[in-house]
Amino acid sequence: MKKVLLAMVALVSIVGADELVNLKIEGMMCPACVKNVKGSLNDVKGVKESTVYLKEGKAEVKAAEGTKPEAMCDAVKKAGYGCSVAK
């Protein structure tokens, strides 16, 4: 059973494409805010990498396919910032 599970995980990591999500972030004032936002994004299940831009008020998130942008925004909002999905 464990072997099957491992094989599935391996398969998903080969087949599954990453998706890129752009988020609009509001309320960031300084590098500490960037750190907070980045940290909360990276804690979301499926998120692999995030880049947060202070001046532009945005974030680019690389996540596993199927990761919900809404879940990312919820995490950012929980940290105390405004967030909307930019499409």
Residue numbers of the site for Cu ion (CB under 5 A)? Answer: 29-30, 32-33
**Residue whose pair of structure tokens reads 């059973």 in the numeric block:** 1
CA distance 43 to 48: 9
- Nearest residue (beta carbon) to Cu ion: 33
57 close to 24: Cβ distance less than 8 angstroms: yes
Least distance (Å) between residue 39 CB and Cu ion: 13
For the CB of residue 27, give the shortest distance to Cu ion in the complex, in Å.
9
Identify which of residues 50 and 67 has a Cβ nearer to Cu ion in the complex.
50
Distances (CA, A) of 22 to 7, 11, 12, 15, 62: 31, 27, 23, 23, 9
Closest approach of Cu ion to the CB of residue 54, in Å: 9
Question: Structure tokens of 37?
Answer: 């936002």
For Cu ion, the closer CB: 14 or 30: 30
Closest to Cu ion by CB, 5 or 30: 30
Closest CB to Cu ion among residues 14, 29: 29
Residue with tokens 């994004």: 41
